[in-house]
């Protein structure tokens, strides 16, 4: 169990910090602390640069104050941070919920490339069109439990 946990990274739609911290990410086994700038949230900014550019950030985003980040920028940087730990499994909770269409396409493309390279991804979405684009399997969750696998997205009422 410990080995599985150590090879898992996750992003969350909302910050797990009840005090409203700027980052909406939970990464394991990352030990990077916080700080006032984006760069202080990465153990190695140089190693993150390719991902930073792939997701539409300029190189100088490292110096940006955390307080200036939009929700969409936080989500994309959280994804980069999660990928930087080299997980075998990536858990994504609505990773594109606050993104513009171009950023959604960039995130989907990046994750698709990682899946082709062998990364296992569990992606939670309420977007039926996105599920059709990205999913290899569709699972229905009701009352907090996986209930069934379905061949296509079913629109249901709560």
Q: How far apart are CA 107 and CA 19, in angstroms?
A: 27
- Mind listing the domains of the chain with CATH numbers? 2-124 (3.40.50.300), 126-158 (no CATH)
**Which residues, at least 6 apart from 44, have a Cβ–Cβ distance to it below 8 Å?**
84
pLDDT per residue over 72-130, tens digit each?
Answer: 999 999 999 999 989 999 999 999 988 999 999 999 999 999 999 999 999 988 888 88
Taking phi over 0 as left and psi of -120 to 50 as alpha, with beta for the rest, 27 belongs to beta
pLDDT per residue over 26-61, tens digit each?
Answer: 444 344 556 889 999 888 899 999 999 999 999 899
Tokens coding 109 = 């493309």
């Amino acid at each position: 169990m410990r080995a599985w946990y150590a090879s898992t990274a996750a992003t969350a739609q909302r910050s797990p910090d009840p005090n409203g911290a700027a980052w909406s990410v939970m990464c394991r086994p990352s030990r990077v602390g916080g700080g006032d700038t984006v760069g202080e949230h990465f153990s190695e900014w140089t190693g993150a640069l390719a991902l930073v550019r792939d997701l539409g950030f300029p190189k100088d985003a490292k110096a940006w104050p955390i307080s200036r980040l939009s929700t969409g920028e936080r989500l994309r940087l959280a994804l980069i941070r999660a990928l930087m730990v080299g997980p075998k499994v990536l858990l994504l909770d609505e990773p594109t919920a606050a993104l513009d269409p171009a950023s959604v396409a960039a995130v989907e493309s990046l994750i698709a490339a990682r899946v082709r390279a062998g990364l296992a991804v569990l992606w939670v979405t309420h977007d039926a069109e996105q599920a059709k684009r990205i999913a290899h399997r569709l699972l229905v969750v009701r009352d907090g439990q996986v209930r069934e696998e379905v061949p296509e997205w079913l629109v249901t009422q709560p």
